[in-house]
Amino acid sequence: MLVKLLCVGDIVGRPGRQMLADHLVHLVKEHDIDCTIVNAENVAGGSGLTNAIYDKLIKYGVNLITLGDHVYRKREIVNTLNSSSCIVRPANLSPLAAGKEYAIYQTKRGPKVAVITILGRMYMSMPGDNPLIAIDRILQKLPPGIDIVVVEIHAEATSEKICMGWHLDGRVSAVFGTHTHVTTADETVLPKGTAYITDLGMTGPHKSVLGRDIERVLQANITQMPFPFSIATEDLRLNGIIVTVESLTGRAVDIQRVCICGTHEPGQAYDEDDGKPDNYNNH
């Protein structure tokens, strides 16, 4: 059986959520997607995830949710991290950290998909244990009966992501990178059957600096003073990949980049307003 996975890059703020709300159902139907995986670590005002927004993502049709170095930015999400079966925190944090090291989704057609997130260590504000050693440990803990394994490496350095791809070639179905918010053009199926891309890119406003208002970020960099980084609102895009996997072998047979441009005009209302400002203070 061929199983199709849709993996969506870092969702930034309300504009990113709007793109998901507008386009996810259509994408799933058009491409016959069996499982949708999204990175949601920037979804709440640009940093972290709240319980209310978690509920929205599930309502929009997301099956598995990953987080990165902003995993605990909103403390309220801790209970959800512990109780939900469809969300993961980085697996190479302390064993005492809240949340699960992997999550499993059973597709409607039967095959089970597991997702694992690993933090890189180079230039990261929240470094974890050695990612290559950690992923070997987590793979050994997966229960039997998993047909497809997807690994996200949330890292700044492209070299760490590429190393993870080669380290896992033939052992998992797909490896994708997140965190930089810039889509790379190196999607490929590695020789032993693992789909790979260095970074999925960002889902949100692309007339920006990584999703934030351009002028605010310029001011902060020029003056070296703290400024609140409000979320930008223009040139909305959804970025990700579609991976096709043969469920019997767990090997990928195809990977394609996806980029959907939004239709919302600047200033228009974004998804269901939760009453909280869409900004992230960089103090």
- What residues are labeled active site? 70
Q: Which amino acid is at 8?
A: V
Show Cβ contacts of residue 200 under 8 Å, excluding neighbours closer than 6 positions. 7, 8, 9, 10, 39, 176, 177, 178, 183, 239, 240, 241
Cβ contact 115:146 at 8 Å: no
CA distances to 132, 150, 191 from 135, rounded to whole Å, are 5, 11, 20
Distance (Å, whole) CA 64 – CA 113: 9
What is the total residue count of the chain? 283
Sign of CA dihedral 156, 158, 160, 166: positive
- For the four alpha carbons of 121, 48, 143 and 36, in that order, the dihedral sign comes to negative
